[in-house]
């Protein structure tokens, strides 16, 4: 016993808890002191009593305080109390955790039986904060809470998508409309150069949401990022609390820098069991096609470029009138798709045990053929009050998803992915030959084999599948002792088995031939565990509320990825590694781990529901950094003043205009350690070498520059907020923040001559070191306005309007360069964005178009591209773009590039409206973004007019020719000597949009049904349209374009993003 | 205090103690990777050192070999047309912009060779006591050679470039200026002279660099700097000691381009490739076939074979009747190749595949089955080595050094070496009494077409001669799809500025000093 206590105290003292311990003990002794002094003249009257719950069971540890004094006593484990009172004592105030406060007049009574009612705290009143919860009115930080009701009708795969437009300060973009596709969630702007995704905490178990590229494929890697949260069944979620400012997130220390999203799943409630069934079925369709040339248009285009380049016209295009419309590749790859979702849940509880058990089956086809997601989940949440002082519980979920991935969007190189291929493949290539087999390009028709050939065939027969299995659980034990202490130990784990499968079949689609089939499989096993121990001391003393928490947490994450492949299978139908030619076998493995341990403490003190103060600190030690750089400290402070609880406010309150007013302020420091392992040292990577010459077949190369000094990324954030309640109908929350991030953990943007090779291209190079540099500020405000009709009205309208605005400014960069330019990874050159000090991150960067060259005079008198002559074929000529000579040096070169666009929105918004009247309910949800630019890269393919093969957009019909000079569409020219299709503001478009995200109509049949089926307690039918319409001037598929592969420097670049479909859904909720 | 509180405290203490202990162990926070080596625990045996130098022979050169070498060496110089995409067309039209994708990739590839070489030089001595002197010396020699070779390409293509040596510490400063051309050459020669001493006369295993390779490269560097005497002497060291260095000509020209003949006696230095489609193998195979095999995927059996590079009309006009090299260099209609599509009894080039009437044969090795014995062939990945220096090149270097500043030579030894090349090409019957510099250039063109050499051969001409030569090259194609009909001529009027390539824009963006005047290195 002694030893254990010693190690406990030792541990606490060692880990920075000294000031907190001091406070704890002093407050504790203060509390104890109140027990003593009653040296009044008259001897006290002895009173005895018992505190019980409604069912008669004793309540231990209830506080019995004499009203108007600081004297307090508590009940023993049988609920009994006994003490002396003075004559002037009028009443007792009894409080106990989980019960409502009660006042009892003393009078002449000396024996009391005090029955306490359970404290039914409405869900809306409790906010989950890190390692604990708090009543909403006591919260000092900026926390946005969303309840299950707010997203019940959204037919989305995962919770991250559902947050879009629902929470102020949170910017959600779906990087892909593919089922389970990547989602980017940014809380309050861009706080870091590395991953910007927030930390998710699911029933206490933290989980990084970095969308992982778990899938492997044969078509380049494209944007195959998948949402990390797609395993979680949204129907199981009770609430989502979003910790936005640092005073709240600093309790998560190194992982709190991007904000924290706490997800709490449903629990059973004491009482009769409930069985609920939810189901829906729907159809999705693309709602916009790009306007591409059809066969006639294509033939005319081809003829005119043949004339231009001086080659023979292709004979099949001699008579355009006789041609049909050809293949419409977009309509071949985008097909209506079904979505269905079924969920059965049981919940209830008896004598100390509550349970929630649910099962879900979800099946969503993608609108691009071949894509889709199936999910099965099972969840069991159990809580058990074993003893009055001991509670045990487990939350566990198993999720399995299976995704068919037709690599679709954002292929770096513009080909090999289904959507970009559909844009670029020409209409003279047939989908099917006459014999029913897949068609393909021929020597004279269509884009070369380099571009893949037949997108329909590829989507149908190149198998790319991702199967994820996830077992997430949290087991806890909680004990209350010494009246006010609670100790809780949680063991959380997250086990993942993911399998990526890819099969490249043999095929012959026209000239596109493959005679070597290959099967590749990647098994990714990862385990994570996390052990948290939290000691809480909570006490209310008259008007003083004190809550002190001390905690410790250890965590470890390990992974093991094995990839194996074989080729030469006898058939395309049956493939398994053992059926491939053994001489083609290959296997690779990648393992890794990281660990962390943390200590943290927090004090929350409130006085009289008027003033509240929170202070916390966390110490993290991580294996990510060199031994002497592993430790970081992250403090947070916040306070609030609820003005409306002041006596002087009574008048205003009574007038009914303002009935709640609270000011909040907070400050916190947080960190970020989001870097690969071992960047502090230099390691070697394996590379295949020619074994016939070198024996082993394996070489080693130095893979990175080391930086032993690399350490925590750092962030401070100040938050000021006000909450206003107007006449119980309006609730307005305004938050202003100033977030300064510095010492970014970032791989420096070295020039290639330092030996870095071509970053991200998978080729040999010494990766630039991770360094801590730079500084960035995000200032902004979040507004939410909630309205509900007065409770007296039969018609209910609940409405939430949220508005988020951030202003991102880079304050410092590396001392060497005042800018970071970013290139689309594989294309190598040229940069598409530039980040400079004094400007937001990732601005589009390129040439500015001044118009077209219309006259020879203009050609000779204007600046043209360096080294270019005035020449129709190899230089600049009439119909080319005249770029602005920004530096007026008479020639167009790299120095003439300027900032040409900003992907950051001026603000984003969401407007949710829920209506109900008798048995009818309806909701309308609108969301949007204003003031952001998009770089429409699909037009670089579609309007390039630089190569002889491949389809173009219909807009090229209006290109400059001698007969059509009144246009801003440049001419056709082989090889693009003037770089008409280079990076310029020609392709920048306004990305503002307003989207009717969801409209739902529901009807509650309960009263009708109940008469006939008494077992049914509730039944509701509803109809939903998701993504009904988008108002925008953007010409691409969808203006909602997120960052490419999560890269903050490549935000808002549309490379044929998988469009989000319009979905019609009919559903039913039944409760027994 | 009652019992259960004591018990609770016990449990709580125990739980916390165990959890804290788990975290307190020092090893718990050790971030050293377990699945890969680190430079701190590596370089402890010859095998480990050799694995790092082995990596210098292939992957870092991937992007150099992929499109850069041939775009400059053959397309820009007029041996080949390259019209696969906008980047390639810029080489064909001799208007390569700073934003050209291939230009950047080649630059980055060459500097990644430099970076790897520097990293090995810095680390190979870490555990010197565990290694033999020979191991360390050979490794250093290979690094110096590779670094020099990369710089030799860089200085010829870009002129002044930053000299990055093993002492560069980029954590403090990554913005270097360019260094003047003379100093870059001095750096190259120093490295090669070191390599010449450090490397063994013959490579320990086939394919490994030797002192002979260092001498061969040094001879070419001297030649490029018009130091004809030194060039001649270096080349002669090899020619007069063929058995010592193990060099000689292959008997048949065609044999040079079979994968099974990798690292033959004529292969002085070659990039070593490994055909594979395994995960992580990207960049370790030879990709040339993908760009060269005729349009259509018949030959490769995979999604490659794009016919991007095609023998120019100009090159075909320069051919000599009876030259045996022609068929191994490029395909004309009805050419038959028994080694391709063996399962179908060989391949006959049908024509109508190219608007220049021909397609490249060199480095085209066929499909998986054709290469089953040598490791197969995969999409964009074959196992045939890329010749960087052939012994034939050493012979012609000797001849060129003998001609020197003159316009021709009648030197008997030079003619003898020249005739060795000609005889193998089946042209031994044509008597040669004197070799003019034009004869030599044409010979080199025919011998090394599609080996990335011709551009640098032209550059060694006096500048006015080079410009005239380049301006007269026919870069056009036939109107018709079968290499028939009239030719849409495309001749470029060349100026001196076009003899160097611009430094990639993105490099100047991250290091503006590259835009300034070059400074001395020494």
Rounded Cα–Cα distance for residues A1019 and A1069 (Å): 6
Q: What is the pLDDT of residue B4?
A: 56
More confident residue, A947 or B384: B384
Rounded Cα–Cα distance for residues A1046 and A580 (Å): 36
Using CA atoms, how far residue A612 sits from A50, A142, A247, A516, A972, in Å, is: 33, 14, 13, 70, 69
Rounded Cα–Cα distance for residues A671 and B392 (Å): 62
Name the residue with tokens 């992007």.
Answer: B63
Rounded Cα–Cα distance for residues A980 and A879 (Å): 10
Arithmetic mean of pLDDT over chain B: 91
Give the pLDDT confidence of A536-569 residue by residue, as tens digits. 998 888 889 899 999 999 999 999 999 999 999 9
Q: Is A1019 helix (H, G, I), strand (E, B) or coil?
A: strand
Rounded Cα–Cα distance for residues A949 and A305 (Å): 10
Q: What is the pLDDT of residue B445?
A: 97
Phi, psi of A646 (to 5 degrees): -75, 150
Mean pLDDT of A403-417: 59
What DSSP character marks residue B446? H
Q: What is the pLDDT of residue A825?
A: 56
State whether residue B258 sits within 8 Å of chain A by CB: no
Phi, psi of B30 (to 5 degrees): -80, 115
How many alpha carbons lie under 13 Å from residue A732 in its C-beta half-sphere? 9
Mean pLDDT of B85-113: 89
Length of chain B: 522
Mutant choice from A688, A873, A887 vs B, greatest count of B C-beta within 10 A: A688
For a pLDDT cut of 70, what percent of chain A falls above it? 90
Mean pLDDT of A1050-1072: 89
State whether residue A618 sits within 8 Å of chain B by CB: no
Give the pLDDT confidence of A440-472 residue by residue, as tens digits. 887 777 775 445 678 898 888 888 888 999 999
DSSP 3-state helix, strand, coil percentages of chain B (rounded to 5)? 50, 10, 40
Task: Using CA coordinates, name the residue in chain B closest to A308.
Answer: B488
Q: Which of A312, A693, A816 lies at the smallest CB-CB distance from B479?
A: A312
Q: Is B476 helix (H, G, I), strand (E, B) or coil?
A: coil
Mean pLDDT of A843-848: 94
Q: What is the pLDDT of residue B13?
A: 64
More confident residue, A36 or B82: B82
Say whether A518 and B31 touch across the interface (CB within 8 A). Answer: no
Q: What is the pLDDT of residue A355?
A: 93
Q: What is the pLDDT of residue A209?
A: 64
Per-position b or e across A96-106, b if 16+ CB within 10 A of its CB: beebeebeeeb
Q: What is the pLDDT of residue A79?
A: 85
Residue A339 has pLDDT above 90, yes or no: yes
Q: Of B471, B475, B491, whose CA–CA distance to B355 is shortest? A: B475
Mean pLDDT of A575-599: 90
Q: How far is B287 from chain A (nearest CA, A)?
A: 13
Q: Which of A449, A487, A695 lies at the smallest CB-CB distance from B305?
A: A449
Mean pLDDT of A183-204: 85
Reply yes or no: is the peptide bond before residue A545 cis, omega within 30 of 0.
no
Residue B1 has pLDDT above 50, yes or no: no
Q: What is the pLDDT of residue A40?
A: 43
Q: What is the pLDDT of residue A762?
A: 64
Say whether A690 and B29 touch across the interface (CB within 8 A). Answer: no
- pLDDT grade, residue A12 (50/70/90)? very low
Mean pLDDT of B11-25: 59
Q: How far is B419 from chain A (nearest CA, A)?
A: 31
Give the pLDDT confidence of B259-287 residue by residue, as tens digits. 999 999 999 999 999 998 877 778 899 99
- pLDDT grade, residue A4 (50/70/90)? very low
For a pLDDT cut of 70, what percent of chain B falls above it? 95
Mean pLDDT of A383-398: 90
Question: What residues of B are in contact with residue A691 (Cβ under 8 Å)?
Answer: 274
Q: What is the pLDDT of residue A42?
A: 58
Residue B84 has pLDDT above 50, yes or no: yes
The size of the A-B interface in CB pairs under 8 A is 456
Residues 6+ apart with CB under 8 A from A50: A58, A75, A78, A79, A80, A81, A112, A113, A114
Using CA atoms, how far residue A559 sits from A224, A523, B27, B116, in Å, is: 20, 10, 18, 29
Per-position b or e across A177-207, b if 16+ CB within 10 A of its CB: bbbbbbbbbbbbbbbbbbbbbbbbbbbbbbb
Residue A409 has pLDDT above 60, yes or no: no
Let me know: does A580 contact A519? Beta carbons within 8 Å. yes
Rounded Cα–Cα distance for residues A831 and A752 (Å): 13
Token pair of B104, please?
Answer: 């950047």
Token pair of A120, please?
Answer: 């039914």
Mean pLDDT of A921-949: 89
Residues 6+ apart with CB under 8 A from B138: B53, B198, B199, B200, B204, B208
Q: What is the pLDDT of residue A17?
A: 37
Say whether B111 and A690 touch across the interface (CB within 8 A). Answer: no
Let me know: does B173 contact A816? Beta carbons within 8 Å. yes
Task: Using CA coordinates, name the residue in chain A closest to B62.
Answer: A763
- pLDDT grade, residue A492 (50/70/90)? very high
Measured CA angle at B45 (ends B39, B49), to 5 deg: 60
Rounded to a whole number of angstroms, the CA Rg of chain B reads 27
Q: Which of A588, A595, A693 lies at the smallest CB-CB distance from B262?
A: A693
Question: What residues of A are in contact with residue B281 (Cβ under 8 Å)?
Answer: 586, 688
Q: Which of A518, A627, A698 lies at the smallest CB-CB distance from B51?
A: A698
What DSSP character marks residue A118? B
Residues 6+ apart with CB under 8 A from B461: B437, B441, B469
Give the pLDDT confidence of A787-832 residue by residue, as tens digits. 988 877 889 898 999 999 999 999 988 766 667 888 775 455 578 9
Mean pLDDT of A238-267: 88
Q: What is the pLDDT of residue A123?
A: 46
Question: What residues of A are in contact with residue B115 (Cβ under 8 Å)?
Answer: 754-757, 765-766
Residues 6+ apart with CB under 8 A from A2: none
State whether residue B509 sits within 8 Å of chain A by CB: yes
Rounded Cα–Cα distance for residues B47 and B276 (Å): 23
Rounded Cα–Cα distance for residues A445 and A442 (Å): 5
Rounded Cα–Cα distance for residues A692 and A155 (Å): 57
3-state secondary structure A428-488: CCCCECCCCCECCCCCCCCCCHHHCCCHHHHHHHCEEEEEEEEEEEEEEEEEEECCCEEEE
For a pLDDT cut of 90, what percent of chain B falls above it? 72
Phi, psi of A276 (to 5 degrees): -125, 145
More confident residue, B10 or B441: B441
Highest mean pLDDT among A3-7, A724-728, A1000-1004: A1000-1004
Give the pLDDT confidence of B286-340 residue by residue, as tens digits. 999 999 998 777 888 887 888 889 999 999 999 999 999 999 999 999 999 999 9
Among the residues of A15-133, which ranges form H helices?
Answer: 18-33
Give the pLDDT confidence of A105-129 residue by residue, as tens digits. 887 788 888 888 776 545 457 888 8
Highest mean pLDDT among A540-544, A879-883, B86-90: A879-883
State whether residue B309 sits within 8 Å of chain A by CB: no
Mean pLDDT of B438-452: 96
Using CA atoms, how far residue A286 sits from A323, A330, A459, A953, B7, in Å, is: 28, 10, 17, 19, 64
A118-132, B214-228, B286-300, B473-487 — which is least confidently predicted?
A118-132
Residue A713 has pLDDT above 60, yes or no: yes
| Angle, helices B133-158/B181-198, rounded to nearest 10 degrees | 150
| Angle, helices B211-224/B133-158, rounded to nearest 10 degrees | 20
Q: How far is A750 from chain B (nearest CA, A)?
A: 7
3-state secondary structure B176-235: CCCECHHHHHHHHHHHHHHHHHHCCCCCCCCCCCCHHHHHHHHHHHHHHCCCHHHHHHHH
* Bridge partners (DSSP) listed for residue B178: none
Alpha carbon distance, N-terminus to C-terminus of chain A: 51
Residue B25 has pLDDT above 90, yes or no: no
Alpha carbon distance, N-terminus to C-terminus of chain B: 83
Rounded Cα–Cα distance for residues A850 and A883 (Å): 5
- pLDDT grade, residue A194 (50/70/90)? confident
The complex's ipTM? 0.90
Arithmetic mean of pLDDT over chain A: 84
Strands A72-74 and A132-135: unpaired
Residue B478 has pLDDT above 90, yes or no: no
How many alpha carbons lie under 13 Å from residue A509 in its C-beta half-sphere? 29
Mean pLDDT of B153-168: 95
Give the pLDDT confidence of A282-322 residue by residue, as tens digits. 999 998 999 999 999 999 998 988 888 777 788 888 888 88
Q: Which of A452, A689, A749 lies at the smallest CB-CB distance from B272?
A: A689
Question: What residues of A are in contact with residue B481 (Cβ under 8 Å)?
Answer: 312, 443-444
Q: What is the pLDDT of residue A915?
A: 92
Rounded Cα–Cα distance for residues B3 and B443 (Å): 101
> Is residue A111 within a helix (H) or strand (E), and if so which, with residue range?
strand A111-116
Q: Which 14-33 residues of chain B touch chain A by CB within 8 A?
A: 14-17, 19-20, 22-24, 28-33
Residue A886, burial from CB neighbour count under 10 angstroms (0-12, 13-18, 19+)? middle
- pLDDT grade, residue A8 (50/70/90)? very low
Residue B413 has pLDDT above 90, yes or no: yes
């Amino acid at each position: 016993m002694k030893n254990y206590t010693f190690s406990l105290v030792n541990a606490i003292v060692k880990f920075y808890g000294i000031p907190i311990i001091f406070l704890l003990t002093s407050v504790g002794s203060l509390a104890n002191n109140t027990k003593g002094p009653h040296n009044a003249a008259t001897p006290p009257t002895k009173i005895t009593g018992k505190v019980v719950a409604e069912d008669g069971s004793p309540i231990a540890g209830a506080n019995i305080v004499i009203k108007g004094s600081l004297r307090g006593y508590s009940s023993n484990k049988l609920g009994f109390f006994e003490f002396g009172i003075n004559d002037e004592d009028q009443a007792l105030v009894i409080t106990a955790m989980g019960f409502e406060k009660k006042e009892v007049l003393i009078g002449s009574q000396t024996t009391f039986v005090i029955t306490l009612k359970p404290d039914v705290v409405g869900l809306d009143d409790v906010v989950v904060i890190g390692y604990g919860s708090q009543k909403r009115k006591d919260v000092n930080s900026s926390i946005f809470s969303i309840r299950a009701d707010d997203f019940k009708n959204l037919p989305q795969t995962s919770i991250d998508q559902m947050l879009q437009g629902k929470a102020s300060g949170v910017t959600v973009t779906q990087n892909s409309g593919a089922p389970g596709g990547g989602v980017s969630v940014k809380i309050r702007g861009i706080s870091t150069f590395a991953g910007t995704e927030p930390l998710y905490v699911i029933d206490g178990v933290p989980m990084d949401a970095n969308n992982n590229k778990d899938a492997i494929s044969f078509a380049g890697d494209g944007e195959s990022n998948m949402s990390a949260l797609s395993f979680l069944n949204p129907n199981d979620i009770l609430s989502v609390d979003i910790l936005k400012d640092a005073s709240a997130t600093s309790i998560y220390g190194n992982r709190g820098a991007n904000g924290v999203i706490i997800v709490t799943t449903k629990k059973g409630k004491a009482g009769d069991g409930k069985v609920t069934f939810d189901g829906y079925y729907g159809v999705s369709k693309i709602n916009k096609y790009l306007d591409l040339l059809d066969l006639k248009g294509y033939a005319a285009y081809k003829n005119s470029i043949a004339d231009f380049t001086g080659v023979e016209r292709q004979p099949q295009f001699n008579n355009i009138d006789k041609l049909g419309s050809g293949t419409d590749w977009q309509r071949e790859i985008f097909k209506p798709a079904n979505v269905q979702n079924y969920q059965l849940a049981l919940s209830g509880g008896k004598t100390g045990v509550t349970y929630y058990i649910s099962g879900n089956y979800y099946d969503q086809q993608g609108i691009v053929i071949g894509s889709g997601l199936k999910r099965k989940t099972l969840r069991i949440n159990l809580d058990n009050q074993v003893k009055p002082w001991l509670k045990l519980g487990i939350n566990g979920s198993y999720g399995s998803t299976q995704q068919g991935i037709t690599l679709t969007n954002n292929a770096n190189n513009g080909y090999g992915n289904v959507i970009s291929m559909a844009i670029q493949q020409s209409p003279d290539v047939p989908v099917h030959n006459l014999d029913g087999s897949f068609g393909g390009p021929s020597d004279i028709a269509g884009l070369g084999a380099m571009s893949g050939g037949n997108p329909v065939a590829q989507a149908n027969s190149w198998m790319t599948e991702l199967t994820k299995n996830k077992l997430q659980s949290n087991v806890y034990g909680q004990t209350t002792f010494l009246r006010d202490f609670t100790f809780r130990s949680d063991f959380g784990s997250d086990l993942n088995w993911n399998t990526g499968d890819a099969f490249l079949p043999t095929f012959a689609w026209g000239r596109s031939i493959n005679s070597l089939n290959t099967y590749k499989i990647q098994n990714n096993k990862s385990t994570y565990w996390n052990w948290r121990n939290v000691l809480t001391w909570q006490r209310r003393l008259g008007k003083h509320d004190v809550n002190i928490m001390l905690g410790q947490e250890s965590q470890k994450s390990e992974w093991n990825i094995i990839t194996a492949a074989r080729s030469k299978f006898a058939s395309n139908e049956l493939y398994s590694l053992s059926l491939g030619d053994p001489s083609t076998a290959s296997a690779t493995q990648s393992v890794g781990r990281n660990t962390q341990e943390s200590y943290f403490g927090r004090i929350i003190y409130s006085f009289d529901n008027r003033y509240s103060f929170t202070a916390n600190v966390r110490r993290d030690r991580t294996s990510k950094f060199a031994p002497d750089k592993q430790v970081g400290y992250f403090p947070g402070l916040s306070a609030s003043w609820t003005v409306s609880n002041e006596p002087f406010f009574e008048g205003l309150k009574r007038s009914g205009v303002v009935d709640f007013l609270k000011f909040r302020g907070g400050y916190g420091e947080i960190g970020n350690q989001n870097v690969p392992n071992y960047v502090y040292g230099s390691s070697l990577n394996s590379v295949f070498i020619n074994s016939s010459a070198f024996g082993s077949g394996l070489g080693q190369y130095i893979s990175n520059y080391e930086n032993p000094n690399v350490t925590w990324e750092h962030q401070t954030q100040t938050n000021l907020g006000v909450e206003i309640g107007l006449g119980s109908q309006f609730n307005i929350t305004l938050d202003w923040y100033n977030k300064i991030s510095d010492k970014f953990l970032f791989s420096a943007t070295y020039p290639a001559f330092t030996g870095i090779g071509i970053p991200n291209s998978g080729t040999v190079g010494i990766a630039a070191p991770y360094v801590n540099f730079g500084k960035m500020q995000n200032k902004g405000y979040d507004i939410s306005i909630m309205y509900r009709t007065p409770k007296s009205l039969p018609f209910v309208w609940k409405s939430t309007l949220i508005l988020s605005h951030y202003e991102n400014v880079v304050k410092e960069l590396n001392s060497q360069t005042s800018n970071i330019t970013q290139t689309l990874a594989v294309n190598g050159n040229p940069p598409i964005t530039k980040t400079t000090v004094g400007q937001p991150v990732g601005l589009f960067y390129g040439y500015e178009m001044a118009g077209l060259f219309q006259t020879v005079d203009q050609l000779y008198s204007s600046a043209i591209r360096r080294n270019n002559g005035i020449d129709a074929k190899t230089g600049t000529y009439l119909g080319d773009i005249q770029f602005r000579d920004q530096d007026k040096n008479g020639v167009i070169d790299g120095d003439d590039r300027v900032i040409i666009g900003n992907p950051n929105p001026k603000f984003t918004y969401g407007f949710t409206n829920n209506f109900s009247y008798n048995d009818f309910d309806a909701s309308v949800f609108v969301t949007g973004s204003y003031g952001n630019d998009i770089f429409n890269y699909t037009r670089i393919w579609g309007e390039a007019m630089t190569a002889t093969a491949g389809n173009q957009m219909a807009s090229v019909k209006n290109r400059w020719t001698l007969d059509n000079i009144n246009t801003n569409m440049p001419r056709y020219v082989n090889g693009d000597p003037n770089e008409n299709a280079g990076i310029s503001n020609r392709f920048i478009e306004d990305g503002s949009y307003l989207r009717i995200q969801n409209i739902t109509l529901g009807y509650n049949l309960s009263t009708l049904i109940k008469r006939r089926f008494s077992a049914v307690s509730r039944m509701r039918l509803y109809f939903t349209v998701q993504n009904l319409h988008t108002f925008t001037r953007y010409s691409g598929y969808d203006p909602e374009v997120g960052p490419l592969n999560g890269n903050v420097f490549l935000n808002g670049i549309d490379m044929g993003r998988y469009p989000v479909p319009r979905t019609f859904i009919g559903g039913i909720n039944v409760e027994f | 205090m009652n019992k259960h509180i004591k018990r609770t405290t016990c449990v709580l203490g125990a739980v916390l103690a165990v959890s804290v202990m788990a975290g307190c162990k020092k090893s718990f926070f050790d971030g050293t990777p377990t699945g890969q080596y680190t430079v701190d625990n590596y370089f402890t045996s010859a095998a480990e050192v050799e694995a790092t130098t082995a990596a210098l022979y292939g992957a870092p050169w991937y992007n150099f070999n992929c499109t850069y070498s041939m775009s400059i060496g053959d397309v820009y110089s007029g041996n080949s047309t390259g019209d696969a995409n906008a980047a390639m067309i810029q080489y064909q039209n001799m208007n390569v912009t700073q934003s050209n994708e291939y230009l950047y990739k080649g630059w980055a590839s060459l500097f990644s060779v430099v970076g790897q070489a520097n990293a090995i030089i810095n680390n190979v001595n870490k555990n010197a006591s565990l290694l033999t002197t020979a191991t360390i010396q050979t490794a250093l020699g290979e690094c110096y050679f590779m670094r020099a070779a990369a710089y030799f390409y860089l200085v010829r293509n870009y002129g002044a470039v930053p000299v990055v040596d093993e002492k560069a510490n980029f954590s403090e400063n990554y913005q270097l200026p360019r260094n003047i051309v003379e100093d870059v050459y001095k750096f190259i020669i120093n490295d090669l002279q070191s390599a010449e001493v450090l490397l063994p006369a013959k490579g320990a295993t086939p394919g490994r660099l030797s002192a002979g390779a260092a001498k061969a490269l040094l001879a070419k560097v001297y030649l490029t700097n018009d130091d004809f005497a030194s060039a001649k002497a270096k080349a002669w060291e090899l020619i007069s000691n063929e058995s010592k260095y193990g060099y000689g000509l292959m008997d048949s020209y065609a044999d040079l381009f079979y994968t099974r003949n990798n690292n033959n006696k004529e292969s002085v230095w070659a990039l070593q490739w490994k055909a594979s489609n395994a995960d992580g193998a990207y960049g370790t195979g030879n990709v040339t076939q993908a760009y060269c095999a005729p349009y259509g995927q018949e030959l490769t059996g995979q999604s490659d074979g794009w016919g991007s590079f095609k023998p120019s009309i100009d090159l075909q006009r320069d051919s000599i009747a009876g030259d045996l090299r022609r068929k191994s260099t490029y395909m004309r209609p009805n050419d038959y190749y028994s080694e391709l599509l063996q399962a179908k009894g060989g391949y006959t080039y049908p024509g109508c595949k190219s608007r220049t009437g021909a397609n490249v044969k060199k480095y085209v090795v066929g499909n998986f089955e054709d290469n089953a014995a040598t490791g197969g062939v995969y999409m964009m990945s074959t196992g045939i080595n890329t010749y960087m220096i052939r012994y034939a090149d050493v012979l012609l270097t000797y001849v060129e050094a003998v001609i020197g500043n003159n316009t021709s030579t009648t030197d008997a030894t030079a003619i003898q070496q020249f005739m060795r090349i000609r005889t193998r090409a089946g042209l031994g019957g044509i008597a040669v009494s004197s070799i003019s510099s034009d004869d030599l250039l044409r010979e080199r063109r025919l011998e090394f077409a599609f080996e990335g050499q011709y551009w640098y051969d032209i550059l060694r001409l006096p500048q006015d001669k080079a410009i005239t030569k380049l301006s007269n090259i026919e870069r056009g194609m036939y109107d018709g799809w079968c290499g028939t009909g009239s030719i849409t001529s495309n001749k470029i009027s060349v100026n001196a500025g076009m003899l160097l390539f611009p430094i990639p824009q993105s490099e100047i963006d991250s290091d503006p000093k590259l835009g300034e005047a070059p400074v001395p290195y020494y």
